[in-house]
Every structure is written in structure tokens, then in C-alpha cells.
Structure 1
């Protein structure tokens, strides 16, 4: 029975993916890049599954037991899926006091095990393909919605940049974080700037992707929801024929952010300023202890209050983007450092283009919204994650958007056009 279910599910998934692939290959501008970037993603999948992280192994082993329970006692499995506890045969049990994205990922894997036959390689492939399809959908949406902008900017950011491709492949939380964020932004942009109308399918997609993003990293999700919410309000006002001046756009956007932050803090206690600052400091101290012998981010004075957070935010943002340097730490740190040099070069060119009035042709409101998300998330990661290895993985959630924005300028667009993008 288990084998029949696995074969049937894989056959259905293969047919769906093949149909999707055939449609995408016919894209006049991007179609010829589909197979090369897919091959790159599959190479990253092989690398990730060949030597899985301890986190990936733990989640897979945990999910395998959950799937056994699904076959033996579906009611107990459903109870575990809806709660924060897992009990199996009175010998194995786990109780999470509070929310755990590790447990949530294991829940997803326990469902995927029905198709993968509890194979970590197949599960890694499913998550990799999900992330790939979501990122490709965003790249395609941006190319169709903003044909005057370089399509290659998003392609490089989401599907070519080495650390993004690697960390969002295999059994990783980042594959779900990046995939859900890309899909969510694609849906919202197609509504706000494209010709897509509301339908049951895309509303359902929006809800599921938002739910997945929130469950994987709720602080990341809060910033993304804020950015998209502020952008939606600006676009709604613009549709009425007002808010055309840039300063008005900025005022409306940040006013919406502030109102949303106040409502969020009243509804969900974890989003209150004192809770946020205390959690940032706790994470900073715990991860700092684990990386005392390695390069890390350090602040001279970091206390659990808004003033300290604001004071250290610029340093946190800068170090999230720039570190590790190529002379720091082990070989992996040095490789990441070389990539960071390239990133800083791209950002320097983007800044030069901005000063010369050649920043690109994306709508100003969209740039404000995504720039807010990138800067706020970079500060959040830097303040809470002093360990450079962990930070390098977490920032995968923002790097694709940073690159997409940075490669919009006329200088970058000229280079991208020369290579067919």
C-alpha cells in the first residue's frame, strides 16, 4: 500500500512539473535560461543531500517517525500536526514549549514522506523544486509586469547567486522561507501592477504562502507583510489619482507601517517592542557564546531597549551584507568573503548610478517597500545572529531582493542585455 501511494503521488507530481516545464520553456525572453538554472538548482540539491546538515538529519528522522504514526494512528498524527507535542509508543515523545519551525518543517516532511517513501534525497528534491518554481514564477512575473526593467536582475538574485542557490536547496528551512517569500511577492505584484484579477486559486495561494512564511520565520514574515501591506495601501491610493509625488509615497508607506506595527503589538504580544528587543539580545548572547573562537559580529553596548537597537542597527545592517571578509576564518568563510566582495561591488555601482540619476525604472513605491524589507531584515539578522556562519545562511532570505534592486540600474542593465537578459 505504501509503495502504491508513493508511486501514484510521484507520477502525479512528475506530470504536473513536466506540464509546467513545457509552458515555461516557450517563454520568448526567459525560456532558454530555464534548463541551465534548473540544472544549477539540481546540482545544489545533490550537494546539500550528499552531506546534509545535522538540522536536516534531525528533521528527516523526526518526520519518518511521524509518518509511521500517520499510517498506524492517523488521529494521533493529526493531533501532533495541530499542536506542539508528539508522542509515539510511550517511548518517543517531544514537547515544544512555544513555537518551533523545526517541528513545523518535520510536519511538512511527514506528509512528503508519503511520496518520497521516507527518502531524504527525494524530500530534498521536493523542497528544492518548490523553491525553484516559486522563484521562477517571481522572475517571470517581474519580466511580464515590468518589461522596461532587466529580467536578468531577478534571475541572478533568485536563481543564480551561489549562496542563495545552495542554501535554498535540499532539506533546509531556507528552501521554504525563500520559496514562500518569492511566491508571495509574485502574487501581490501581479495584483498591484499587473493584470491579474482576484480568483479563488490565487487567493488560496496567497493565504498558503503567507501561512508558510509566517510559520517558518515569523519575524521575517512580519517585515515582509509590513512591506507588502504598505505597498498595497500606496497603490490603492494611487489608483484614486493621488500620491504621485515621491515624498507622499514615503509618508503614506511609513504611516501604514507604523499603524500596522501598533496593531500587531496589541494583537500578538511577541511583537511588542520590549519583547522584540529582549529576544534579540537573548539570541545575540546565546549565539555569541557558541562562536567565541570564530569571527563574529560584536557590539560595544547592546541592551534590551529600542534606543540600543536603533544605535546598533546601522552596524548590524552593514555587517550582515559585508561579512565575512575573505581573510576571515576557515575556507568556507573565505569563499563567502569573495562572494561578498562581488556583492559590495554591485552595490557600489548601484549607488553610483543612483547619484547620477540612472537607478532604473522600477516603480518608486515598489522600490521603497522592498528596500525597507531588505534594510530592516538585514538589521534584524545582524542584531540577533552574531555567528557569521548562521548569519550567512539566514540572510539568504534577503539577498535575492537586494540583488534584484541593485541590478536595476542602467549600468547593470547594459551588461545584462549583452548576455541576453
Structure 2
């Protein structure tokens, strides 16, 4: 066990050092080790929270399934790949010990199993590797964005590397950890392809990398990608068309929304769960189930929500408020986790008092801003409807929270704070 721990620490430091050495001109480079240390500690914190506070939950179930799947991998790699559809009786694979045979959960558990090979079934070491992967995604996107918007470097650092909810829930052995890291890395690669100078081989590698990341994310939580893909597609098409045939901003917007509608329609065809009829029924069923199983003070209540499209539209403001503003600190009673998140929300929105005129100027940046807002709007609304539990939503919204915090903090006049500190 000691040898395994030492080996993993050496490998973690080696990979981290390699990433650090590649940061030739990053304004964040002096803070690399600090940011990474915070993320790794957050990963340990997630493991401690579930082991000693919750004493149950996704982390335990998925890690245990990863342990079982690791043994199947060692016994028969082909069965591991096909599991649970191997042609063998499930009881032969500890069926009673598998908490969830959902295809997405099993796929994620297989990823955990691969890391368990390296860590020797050590929950904390596996959490560290997941935290590092997530950090790589956030680090890459932050460095791409600071190149495009150098005046927002403080906002980027705060939103991506210091905001507690972002750091904590994007670390450790959680699906959100990988998803948020993959999403950031994918967006960073796409922006590099469009806005940076690239050789043909670099473009091919980045396209291949982003495609693989999207596929992995789709297998883990497909609905995140069903929202992200139409936005990436729309921005990519409009940017490339405008580069060859310059368009007025109005025409760019028109083409963007046309591509977005096409992307949404294609996404609805990609999975039966996204068809409008089934989607609304599924949301209503999930909502009814949540009402029965969730405490009232932890529930998002929608007004006259009957599963119809009209009632869905009417409740979008409630869904957005819940995703972007809750939990409210004065409604959190004695739940210390919700109180901390409530205080964090107050701090984020308090920064709006120090806002300056928008720094995203120009048609190209306006289109990028629109893409960011659409991503936040649709994902925030979707998560509130499908997961109307405030406690769970705090974790799930890490996929859009850094972007939302960045939009707010990027408008803050940090010179004001610098003058205060100088005094």
C-alpha cells in the first residue's frame, strides 16, 4: 500500500510538473501550484465529506462498483468492456453489490476502475487523479480566455480557481468533476482552433481531442452535451462563415440562431429522452417523485406545473432564480453547507455594485458572449426542472457556475479594491 501511495504521488507530481513547464507565457503561471493544491485538497475534501459526513451517496456507490469492475477487468477484459451485457448471469458478477446498472453509471464506474488499477483501490488517490484531470480542463480554458480577454484575468482566477463551490464540486470522485473539466477543455480547444494560429496537424489533434472529450461527456451525462453542442456548432459555423464572407452583426446573429435551432432539433433526434413529448412527461414525473422524497425546505416549487409546454415556459423564471441564486442564506436554517453556499451567492452578487460597462466589445466578442449566456440559460433552467432539489442542484450547477461567476466578476472594477488595499 505504501509503495502504491508513493508511486501515485510521484506520478501526480510528474504530470503536474510537465503541465507547469508548458506554461511559457501564462499570467497565471505564478499561481499554478497554489491553484492545483487547492483543487487537490478539494478532492480529498469531497472524499472526507462523503465518508465521514454523508456516510453514503454517489461517491461510495460508484467507487465500490469501480472496485468490482476492476476485478472483472483483471479476470476478463472483454467482459469488462461489455459489462453488463456479457452473456453471463449477472449474479456471477456480484450483482447484489451493484447499486446501479444504469449505462451512464456503469460507464463512469469503468473509468473509476481503470484508475483503481493505478491507485490500488484507494479512494483518496483516485479522487486526486480526478481532481487533476478537472484542473487541467479549467487551467486550459482560463489560459485561452485570458489571451482573448486579458483585462479579465482577475475575474478568471477568482471564478475558475478560488470560488469555493466551483473548486469543491469540480473535484474528487464525482461525475461533475470529469464533466466540468471536459467541458472546459473542449471549449478551450474549440476557441484555440478559431482564434489562435494553428498548423494543420494542430487543428486535427485539437478536433480529435475535442471530439473524444464530447463523446466521453455524452456517455457520462449526455444532456449537458446536448445543450453545449448546438452552441459550439452555431458559434463555429458563424465564425468560419464570417471569416471568409464578412457579414453584418445582424446577419451573424440570424445565422447563429438558425444554426442553433438546427442543432437543437438534431439534439432532440439524438436521444428519445429529448423528444418534446417524452421530455415534458419525464420532467413532470421526476418533479412529482421529488415532492414525495425531498424535504419541503430543500425543494424548488413550481407554480401550477402540470407538464405542459406552457406551464414549463411560465416557470422558467423560477427555475433560473433557483439555479442562479439559491440556496438563500436566510432560508438554510441549520444546514451549514447550504449556509456557506448562500453566503457565497451573496458575495458574488455584491460584486455587481462595483460593476463597470461590459468589457466584451466587438462583434466577435458579442457572439461569444451570446453563446455563454445561452449555455447558462438553458443548462440552468434544465437542471432546475430535472433536479428540483436545492442541495443536489448546488453540485450539478458546477457545469455552468464558473461561466456565470466569470460574467459577473469580469464587469467588476478591481482597481477600486486595489486603491482600498493601498490605503
Per the normalisation by structure 2, the TM-score is 0.87
Specify whether residues 224 and 51 from structure 1 end up closer, same or farther in structure 2 by C-alpha distance, changes over 3 A only: same
Aligned position for 1:275: 278
Aligned position for 1:339: 344
Query: Which consecutive unaligned segments of at least 5 residues does structure 2 have?
Result: 51-55
Partner residue of 2:81 out of 78, 94, 100: 78
Aligned counterparts of 1:314 and 1:242: Cα–Cα separation in 2 = 36
Aligned counterparts of 1:113 and 1:383: Cα–Cα separation in 2 = 35
Partner residue of 1:46 out of 44, 47, 69: 44
In the TM superposition, what are the counterparts of 1:217-228 in structure 2 within 5 Å?
217-228=221-232
Contact 1:313 1:379 in 2 (8 A): yes
Aligned position for 2:315: 312
SS in 1 for 2:187: helix
In the TM superposition, what are the counterparts of 1:328-407 in structure 2 within 5 Å?
328-329=331-332, 330-347=335-352, 350=355, 353=356, 357-361=357-361, 363-407=365-409
Partner residue of 1:134 out of 134, 137, 141: 137
Deviations along 1:62-82, one digit per CA (max 9) or x if unpaired, are 111111111122221122178
Shift in Å at residue 319 of structure 1?
1.7
Aligned counterparts of 2:339 and 2:216: Cα–Cα separation in 1 = 33
Contact 1:49 1:121 in 2 (8 A): yes
In the TM superposition, what are the counterparts of 1:17-416 in structure 2 within 5 Å?
17-24=16-23, 26-27=24-25, 29-52=27-50, 54-80=57-83, 87=90, 89=92, 91-92=94-95, 99-147=102-150, 149-199=151-201, 200-245=204-249, 247-329=250-332, 330-347=335-352, 350=355, 353=356, 357-361=357-361, 363-409=365-411, 411-412=413-414
Contact 1:378 1:395 in 2 (8 A): yes
SS in 1 for 2:121: coil
Aligned counterparts of 1:369 and 1:340: Cα–Cα separation in 2 = 23
Aligned residues: 409
Aligned counterparts of 2:141 and 2:156: Cα–Cα separation in 1 = 8
Aligned counterparts of 1:417 and 1:192: Cα–Cα separation in 2 = 37
Shift in Å at residue 268 of structure 1?
3.0
Specify whether residues 121 and 67 from structure 1 end up closer, same or farther in structure 2 by C-alpha distance, changes over 3 A only: same
Shift in Å at residue 88 of structure 1?
6.0
Deviations along 1:218-251, one digit per CA (max 9) or x if unpaired, are 1111111111111112101210242332x33332
Aligned counterparts of 2:331 and 2:412: Cα–Cα separation in 1 = 34
Contact 1:214 1:221 in 2 (8 A): yes
Specify whether residues 266 and 105 from structure 1 end up closer, same or farther in structure 2 by C-alpha distance, changes over 3 A only: closer
Specify whether residues 87 and 28 from structure 1 end up closer, same or farther in structure 2 by C-alpha distance, changes over 3 A only: same
Aligned counterparts of 1:84 and 1:186: Cα–Cα separation in 2 = 41
Aligned counterparts of 1:54 and 1:138: Cα–Cα separation in 2 = 30
Aligned counterparts of 2:180 and 2:283: Cα–Cα separation in 1 = 22
Specify whether residues 344 and 5 from structure 1 end up closer, same or farther in structure 2 by C-alpha distance, changes over 3 A only: closer
Query: Which consecutive unaligned segments of at least 5 residues does structure 1 have?
Result: none
Aligned position for 2:53: none
More helix, by proportion? 2
